[in-house]
Amino acid sequence: MNRLLISLFVLCCTTSSYAGDTDSRVTDILKLDSDEAYGEYLASECSTCHNTSSADNGIPIIHGQDQQALIAALLAYQDKTRENETMQSVAGALGNEEIGALARYFSSQK
Ligand code: HEC
């Protein structure tokens, strides 16, 4: 019983937490075959703040930004090397797949 629990723990916790540095994580996420439609679906959570006409209220326009830059920004909020409580909590809830899909979607927007 204990052994089973331990192997389950090792399995789930070593595959979901990431030990590498941010740069290699950006590369890993770029290599994923990210799904733009999934990104569009997830983006509804972002669009309450980020839209294409929000330049003046302190919320940057992320539509059309570079894919790699978007990934790097989200990872920086996630590991808290970039300050902003809102974005730290938004990014904290995202896994690699979500970040990849969101970056693919937003970078494809005008
Ligand atoms: C409650 C409002 C809010 C929501 C929801 C939100 N953001 Fe943000 N986002 C902000 C603000 C404010 C900033 C600027 C923070 C700063 O000064 O670093 C920001 C910054 C960013 C940046 C950095 C952009 C740049 O040009 O530097 C990215 C990328 C980003 N958000 C992506 C997202 C994504 C993807 C989502 C949805 C999963 C999302 N945000 C949801 C408010 C929000």
**pLDDT value for 53:** 76
C-alpha separations of 56 from 77, 86, 90 in Å = 21, 18, 21
State whether the beta carbon of 40 lies less than 6 angstroms from ligand 1: no
C-beta of 28 in contact with ligand 1 (< 6 A)? no
pLDDT tens-digit readout, 46-83: 999 998 875 667 899 999 999 999 999 999 999 999 99
Residue 16 confidence class, pLDDT cut points 50, 70, 90: very low
- 10 Å CB burial of residue 15 (0-12, 13-18, 19+) is exposed
Which residue puts its alpha carbon closest to atom 18 of ligand 1?
84
